[in-house]
Amino acid sequence: MLPLASLPGIDSLAHTFGFEYGFEFRALLSVLLVTAICGMVGALVVGNRMAFFSDAMAHCAFAGVALGLLLTLILGTGGDPDSYRWLVPLVMVTFGALVGLAIAYVKEKTELASDTVIGVFFAGAIGFGAMLLSALKQRRAIDPETFLFGSPLYVQDVDFLYLGILFFLVVSLLLWRSNHLLLASFNPSLAKSRGIALRLNNYLFIVLLALIVNLSIVTVGALLINAMLIVPAATASNIARNLRQMFWWTLGLSIVAGLLGLYLSSEFSLRLKSGVQIKFGPSGTIICVSVFLFFVSMIATSWRRRPTSVLPTS
């Protein structure tokens, strides 16, 4: 059995497409997968007003990482990289999905506002992660900043297996229930009157969101994944005139921001007077490009809506 970290095919594909180094091709492919995944669900996140919820899920991922690392130490598999690469993501996804479902359940059973319930779980996840921070420190080969900010340059072959499965799940769910999810997002009353199971759709989307957040943080980072889910969709809402346009605009803008941000981070750098060259982080550059596109769309939309002056007639 081949080690998970050295699955064949990626390096040969990189050379086939003319990439000198395999990590460059991994970075490009991971950005394409993550931006496509986030682009496909971003409109639903914005439509459901789940920006704060997805941010809480992203921070729960850090607690999931700490819990997974602690579990590897307890089981005595901390020195086995293969065990680490399947066990930690499994714990992260399970923990994130359970927290997301718990948030939805508490919202149903109490009269508290949504942001209050999410804030409680948000604080609990951050506190839990901080409590287990020592587990991260004991694994000297793991840098916590890798999970906080991420980078497509860190992506390994096994990460493509996770992202490929995730991409398939997202596409399958949208093909199966895209109309139900869209209608439940933007008009719950109409969806309920048509017999659509709002609770089922909500729970399915929460689990899917947990998968997306936890399996994408290697590429984007726990602190930045929420921006990839929200900003392109917010930009698309300034441009699109209906839900279908918003979906495709979100998908396109997400991919464009990802590719442009990756290109800018690899081609441009800041050179100081001392001769030191500072390279920009690719994940942060991608987010900055997304935010820049948002402001461009906002300015363009306001300009388009300006009333045209009418010359007085004599």
Interval 170-212: pLDDT, tens: 999 888 887 787 777 777 777 777 877 778 888 888 888 888 9
pLDDT surpasses 90 at 303: no
| pLDDT band for position 161 (cuts 50, 70, 90) | confident
How far is Cα 158 from Cα 171, in angstroms, rounded to an integer? 20
According to DSSP, residue 280 is labeled: P
pLDDT of 34: 92
Q: Give the position of tokens 């690469």.
A: 85
Q: Which of 23-32, 97-106, 205-214, 238-247 has the lowest mean pLDDT?
A: 23-32
Q: How far is CA 65 from CA 69, 101, 136, 207, in A?
A: 6, 19, 8, 17
pLDDT of 83: 64
CATH topology of domain 21-222: ABC transporter involved in vitamin B12 uptake, BtuC (1.10.3470)
What are the residues whose beta carbons fall under 8 Å from the beta carbon of 1, sequence distance 6 or more? none
pTM: 0.82
Give 197: exposed, middle or buried? Use CB within 10 Å, 0-12, 13-18, 19+: middle
Mean pLDDT across 158-175: 87
Q: At what angle do helices 157-186 and 198-216 cross, to 10 degrees?
A: 150
Mean pLDDT across 270-285: 77
How far is Cα 278 from Cα 280, in angstroms, rounded to an integer? 7
Q: How many residues does the chain have?
A: 314
269 strand-pairing partners: 279
pLDDT surpasses 90 at 55: no
Give 51: exposed, middle or buried? Use CB within 10 Å, 0-12, 13-18, 19+: middle
Q: What is the pLDDT of residues 75-131, one digit of tens each?
A: 766 555 666 677 778 888 888 889 889 988 898 888 888 888 888 888 888 888 777
Residue 206, number of CB atoms within 10 A of its CB? 23
